[in-house]
């Protein structure tokens, strides 16, 4: 009986270690992405993010596909001046091997641009990532955004 219990414990520990290592690797990569994405939006510094993405990365955003690193970079660089008070929150959900999932919510103020009034916007999305050669190759994003026009003062 003790030998059987010992073998079951060895099996469980080995399985747990193998699963945790795969999950830990995905989690570590996701942490790097979250840090780099926050830095890109807060400072405009995109080098860390670029290092994590394949040159041909595709982002499937609601109503928009960004094809290639340059498109993602432009989205950030051109979007930053249009917002203020951005607060981003990322949560690692799960991952293994070449896939991981993140929850994302944010709040910001969209600045007036001569055509539209300033407004507050809140986002709530799920991000699903596929890696290829330890780089982000494809991202699917789904969720919702709410916009509330600010009253003129």
User: Tens of pLDDT along 38-90?
Assistant: 999 999 999 999 999 999 999 999 999 999 999 999 999 999 999 999 999 99
Which single residue is written with the structure tokens 């890696």? 131
Give the predicted TM-score (pTM) of the model.
Answer: 0.81
Question: What ranges do the domains of the chain cover?
Answer: 26-149
Assign a CATH topology to domain 26-149.
Answer: Nuclear Transport Factor 2; Chain: A, (3.10.450)
Question: Phi/psi of residue 118, each to 5°?
Answer: -65, 150
Q: Measure CA of the first residue to CA of the last residue in the chain; give whole Å.
A: 78
CA distances in angstroms from 130 to 2, 7, 74, listed in the order given: 43, 36, 21
**Largest separation between any pair of C-alpha atoms in the chain:** 78
Q: What angle do CA 132, 87, 50 make, to 5 degrees?
A: 25
DSSP E strand stretches across 68-118: 83-96, 99-110
| pLDDT(152) > 70 | no
58-67, 112-121, 144-153: which has the highest mean pLDDT? 58-67
CA distance 129 to 80: 23
């Amino acid at each position: 009986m003790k030998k059987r219990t010992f073998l079951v414990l060895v099996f469980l520990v080995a399985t747990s270690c193998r699963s945790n290592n795969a999950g830990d690797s995905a989690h570590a990569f996701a942490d790097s992405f979250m840090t780099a994405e926050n830095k890109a939006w807060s400072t405009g510094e995109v080098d860390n993010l670029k290092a994590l993405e394949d040159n041909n990365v595709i982002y499937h955003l609601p109503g928009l596909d960004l094809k290639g690193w340059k498109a993602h970079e432009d989205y950030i660089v051109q979007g930053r001046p249009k917002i203020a008070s951005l607060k981003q929150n990322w949560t690692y959900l799960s991952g293994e091997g070449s896939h991981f999932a993140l929850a994302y919510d944010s709040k910001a103020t969209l600045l007036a641009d001569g055509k539209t009034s300033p407004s507050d916007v809140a986002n709530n999305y799920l991000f699903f990532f596929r890696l290829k050669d330890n780089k982000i190759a494809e991202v699917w994003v789904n969720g919702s955004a709410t916009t509330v026009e600010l009253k003129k003062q």
